[in-house]
């Protein structure tokens, strides 16, 4: 096994890696989904239209879409560890400052939140592939389940906290949790430095000895054997030319399998953000529930997602492959939206169904991003491309749903469109979950 300078690797310990990615995961969705339960208050005070209010959710997604493909270049210059440090520093600054300067400040701060989370989105799967190659699906399940905890916590406390300190204080409060993640990440970086700043990786960069794709391990180990030593976090393997690196950047955009994965990921993200943004409003208008009850419903939606995420590795084994799990997840999205349209009074049931579905969907999507690239070096390009394309689709969803609801005077048309998108996701999942490498 070759050493890789600047990579944290086992010198910092698998336990500290898990703690770090879980705490980072807690903060990669909460600053976005904590806003929708307060849209009524924000819109009333700032005089926003429904479309303008939808931007508070869509703007980070636009950042994901536009910037994700370029994160590989940032990682090449800064390394994985420093890129995550920059992500957390930007995030804590933006979340702390954005509520206090009117609509323009809120919008600009939300854009910076999107930039910060984009870096984390792309880098975390690559970090896990690099430092825990034999435990990718398990560590990614823990990481993405933390998304659900962060989402649920943010949406659950948003309204009660706003009652006490106002909506501005409520959406700035996640900065405290980001500070904790930042502290743990700095500790991990420092331990790696004290261990010699040249600690070896937990395994070869291309290793993928994970139960989700066990037959890939031997081939990955064979590829990794020829990589040689590298210098600097995120540096390319010795013997890899600049032309080869450039080819990996352009090559990923010509991979049909990457486009299937991007379509699956984009539909999952679109359905999730559309639901997270508009479920509170839809329930208030169609089920007649209070603002607090609507906030509780979306909290259930997020928190139950934790279970959905944790079930992904077992579901892959039981159903015999990721493709089948992906198809089931898409079908369940269709059931969720059909239920909201046809039996909204059973919203508790649909919140649980939707929660399990969205948790499994994001968990599977990120696991596939981590597992399907041929190695971790190529993975940063696959991750950037898939998330860039996927979030480009997702950025449209909340605004489109808000516009469609207001244009038609109800929620029947939006939920029908979203249910159809769930069926489309089931079809794309059959290819997105294919049991073979991309690249």
> Class of 9-196+255-432 per CATH?
mainly alpha
pLDDT of residue 76: 86
By CB neighbour count within 10 A (0-12 exposed, 13-18 middle, 19+ buried), where does 218 fall?
exposed
H-assigned helices in 235-346: 242-251, 256-286, 291-310, 312-319, 322-342
362 and 309 Cβ atoms separated by less than 8 Å: yes
Question: How many residues can be counted in the chain?
Answer: 439
pLDDT value at residue 46: 87
Per-residue model confidence (pLDDT) at position 421: 96
Q: What is the CA radius of gyration of the chain?
A: 21
- Record the tokens describing residue 184, joined without a space: 């743990």
**Residue-by-residue pLDDT tens, the chain, 439 positions:** 333 434 444 445 788 999 999 999 999 988 988 888 888 888 888 888 777 887 887 788 788 889 988 888 898 899 999 999 999 999 999 999 999 988 888 999 999 999 999 999 989 988 988 888 888 888 888 888 888 788 778 888 888 999 999 999 999 999 999 999 999 999 998 887 776 554 443 333 434 334 444 444 434 433 433 333 333 333 344 334 444 455 566 788 888 899 999 999 999 999 998 998 888 889 999 988 888 888 888 888 988 888 998 899 899 989 989 999 999 999 999 999 999 999 999 999 999 999 999 999 998 998 888 888 777 678 888 888 998 898 888 888 888 898 899 899 999 999 999 999 999 999 999 999 988 888 7
Q: CA distances (Å), 120 to each of 81, 124, 133, 274, in order?
A: 10, 6, 19, 21
CA dihedral 385, 387, 392, 398 (to 10 degrees): 170
Report residue 245 as tokens: 């690196």
Task: Answer for the pair 114, 59: CB distance below 8 angstroms, yes or no.
Answer: yes
Separation of alpha carbons 290 and 270, rounded Å? 26
What distance separates the 2 farthest-apart alpha carbons in the chain? 65
Phi, psi of 126 (to 5 degrees): -70, -40
């Amino acid at each position: 096994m070759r050493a890789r300078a600047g990579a944290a690797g086992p010198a910092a310990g698998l336990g500290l890696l898990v703690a770090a990615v879980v705490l980072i995961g807690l903060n990669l969705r909460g600053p976005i989904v904590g806003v929708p339960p307060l849209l009524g208050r924000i819109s009333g005070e700032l005089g926003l239209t429904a479309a303008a209010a939808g931007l508070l959710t869509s703007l980070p997604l636009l950042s994901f879409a536009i910037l994700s493909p370029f994160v590989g270049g940032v990682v090449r210059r800064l390394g994985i560890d420093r890129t995550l440090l920059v992500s957390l520093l930007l995030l804590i600054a933006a979340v702390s400052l954005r509520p206090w300067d009117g609509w323009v400040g809120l919008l600009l701060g939300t854009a910076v939140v999107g930039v910060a989370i984009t870096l984390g989105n792309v880098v975390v799967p690559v970090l896990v592939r690099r430092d825990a190659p034999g435990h990718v699906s398990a560590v990614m399940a823990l990481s993405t389940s933390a998304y659900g905890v962060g989402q649920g916590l943010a949406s659950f406390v948003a309204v009660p906290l706003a009652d006490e300190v106002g909506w501005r204080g409520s959406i700035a409060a996640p900065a405290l949790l980001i500070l904790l993640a930042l502290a743990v990440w700095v500790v991990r970086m420092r331990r790696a430095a004290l261990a010699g700043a040249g600690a070896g990786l937990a395994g070869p960069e291309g290793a993928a000895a994970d139960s989700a794709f066990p037959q890939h391990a031997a081939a990955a180990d064979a590829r990794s054997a020829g990589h040689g030593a590298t210098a600097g976090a995120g540096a390319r393997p010795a013997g890899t030319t600049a032309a080869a690196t450039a080819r990996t950047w352009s090559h990923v955009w010509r991979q049909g399998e990457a486009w299937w994965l991007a379509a699956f990921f984009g539909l999952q993200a679109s359905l999730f953000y559309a639901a997270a943004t508009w479920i509170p409003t839809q329930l208030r208008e169609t089920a007649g529930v209070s603002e607090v009850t609507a906030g509780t419903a979306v909290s259930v939606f997020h928190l139950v997602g934790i279970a959905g995420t944790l079930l992904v590795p077992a579901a892959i084994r039981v159903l015999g492959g990721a493709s089948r799990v992906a198809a089931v997840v898409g079908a369940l999205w269709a059931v969720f939206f059909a239920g909201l349209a046809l039996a909204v009074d059973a919203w508790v049931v649909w919140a649980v169904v939707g929660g399990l579905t969205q948790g499994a969907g994001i968990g599977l999507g990120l696991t596939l991003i981590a597992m399907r690239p041929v190695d971790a070096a190529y993975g940063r390009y696959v991750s950037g491309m898939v998330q860039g394309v996927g979030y480009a689709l997702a950025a449209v969803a909340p605004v489109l749903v808000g516009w469609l609801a207001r244009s038609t005077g109800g929620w029947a048309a939006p939920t029908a469109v979203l249910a159809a998108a769930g069926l489309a996701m089931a079809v794309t999942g059959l290819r997105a979950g294919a049991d073979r490498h991309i690249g």
